[in-house]
Amino acid sequence: KAGVTQTPRYLIKTRGQQVTLSCSPISGHRSVSWYQQTPGQGLQFLFEYFSETQRNKGNFPGRFSGRQFSNSRSEMNVSTLELGDSALYLCASSFGEAGQPQHFGDGTRLSIL
């Protein structure tokens, strides 16, 4: 059974640009969540999508947005990149019921120059 796939693995951008990250969940999983991991703030929840609808959102500015497609694949977009957006972005999928274990991808490491 294939795991969660995130692309690309690495990205280098400059301030002011925008970026789109992609996540393909485990087959059959309808929930996709995104997390940001930085040395200073640790692992922080960005948002969750379930059946193409945003179900929950963390405390991040509106520059961070996402969407989910009918095949449950999800994309996350960050606009007007700032140096502080440099982080490992992790995607996780689950069946979607409360308390279900989430399974994570390898992440996309985003570096802002």
Q: Which residues bind another protein (CB under 8 A)?
A: 31, 33, 35, 42-45, 48, 50, 55-56, 58, 88, 90, 92, 94, 96, 98-107, 109
Q: Which C-beta is closer to another protein: that of 9 or that of 63?
A: 9
Angle 66-54-7 (CA atoms, 0-180°, nearest 5)?
Answer: 35
d(CA 79, CA 72) in angstroms, rounded, equals 23
* Closest CB to another protein among residues 3, 16: 3
Q: How far is the CB of 33 from another protein (least distance, A)?
A: 6
Nearest approach, Cβ of 99 to another protein (angstroms)? 4
Closest distance to another protein from the beta carbon of 48 (Å):
5
Which CB, 9 or 15, lies closer to another protein? 9
Q: Rounded to an integer, what distance in angstroms lies between the CA atom of residue 54 and that of residue 50? A: 6
C-beta of residue 16 within 8 angstroms of C-beta of residue 80: yes
Of 9, 17, 23, the residue nearest 83 (C-alpha):
17
